[in-house]
A and B are shown apart, each in its own frame.
Chain A
């Protein structure tokens, strides 16, 4: 009970914050001119290197990619048997101080995050790639090369682990009404609930209704957990590795229904077709709950980089 109250309280707070943050984002994208205009800013002209990801030196690199700064294309820097995808970024936008400020601007962050992701997206289509976290920035080619040499072993390990495998994302969404409906159907024959329906006082009928509703809610929550666990279990069995992520906020992701599972799966490339079939099968199995499975990929393998879950140094 306490847990539920707490969860509800958290939800109320979160919703309020999210509304505020999203309103702010919408506002800033309205008021601010959409294209970044570095040209109008007094610029020191100094740049640094933004790194996206690391591939084996012999990888077939994508070409003509736009970087996080639209004025600079993506280039390759090699060392230690590896190649890093990088692009130049102006220090007056990406230096430590301006960066700190810019990261607090959701519209700026969205643009940069999408650009970073887009480069990596194309990289994974060309070969195995270890994605770097946002904002991995070097002062010079030399210092980037030094990093590649220093970290060569762990990158090689990561590339070996990821070779021939793909990260896919599966989300399980159910229709809340369908879930409640199913829970109600399963709750109705619980003995003891009907007793007292004959000649109930007004208060008694109210209490009974409350009790039934509570059981339905509990059953619905239980069903949701069961379905999520079952779906995740079957996907996990199909994958080399699997992680679950917190459910997303519908206002940001735009999804309908309740997100019961937000999972990422590392799958052997030759089992990806079978993964599609499995997802379709799971969707059929839980059709009664209005279940939808959303399969996307292949993603840059963010979730499966060895050591990739640690906090920043």
Chain B
């Protein structure tokens, strides 16, 4: 039962990857996204699984990836609305979102105004 497989000599060469400690992001970005794709008998397209796709893409994804996916889709998605509201239960999510959005819009406006002011004063 506890028989160890023959270890390749390179296995000891390195910091290596004690499997238990390997970070989950490293594993998920590989097993979900990479590796050869061969049709199995049980038809499951990982990319079709909405929640999986969204949550995990975001968990492992960069800003670029998120942007590629657009930033609006999740606002209209009920499952994500509840996701966002988390433990607060039914539905502060939309409100929080709205505040974040307004906050961002205001910050952008401030940035634009400051830049114009700056051009004005330095010009």
Contact residues of A with B, CB < 8 Å? 1, 5-14, 16-24, 27, 48, 51, 53-54, 60, 62-65, 94-96, 99-100, 103-104, 106, 109-110, 113-114, 116-118, 121-122, 125-126, 130-140, 143, 147, 151, 155, 158, 166, 169, 204, 207, 210-211, 245-249, 251-255, 269, 272-273, 276, 295-300, 302-303, 305, 307-313
- List 6 additional contacts besides A64-B1, A295-B14; criterion CB under 8 Å: A17-B74, A65-B5, A113-B27, A133-B34, A305-B36, A312-B45
**Which residues of A lie under 8 Å from residue B83 when comparing CB positions?**
17, 20-21, 24
Q: Are A135 and B42 in contact (CB under 8 A)?
A: yes
Instruction: Known contacts A207-B121, A246-B65; decide if A151 and B38 are in contact (CB<8 Å).
Output: yes
Q: Count the A-B residue pairs with Cβ separation under 8 angstroms: how many?
A: 261
Q: Are B10 and A113 in contact (CB under 8 A)?
A: no
Q: Are B23 and A94 in contact (CB under 8 A)?
A: no
| Interface residues of chain B: helix, strand, loop or mixed (majority) | helix
Instruction: Known contacts A63-B5, A207-B118; decide if A247 and B62 are in contact (CB<8 Å).
Output: yes
Chain A proximity mask over B15-54: 1 for CB below 8 Å, otherwise 0: 1110100111111111110111111111111110101101
Identity of the chain A residue whose Cβ is nearest the Cβ of B69 in the assembled complex: A10
**Which residues of A lie under 8 Å from residue B87 when comparing CB positions?**
23, 27
**Which residues of A lie under 8 Å from residue B114 when comparing CB positions?**
207, 210
- The reply to whether the CB of B107 lies closer than 8 angstroms to some CB of chain A is yes
**Which residues of A lie under 8 Å from residue B6 when comparing CB positions?**
60, 62, 125-126
Of A17, A60, A307, which contacts B84 at CB under 8 A? A17
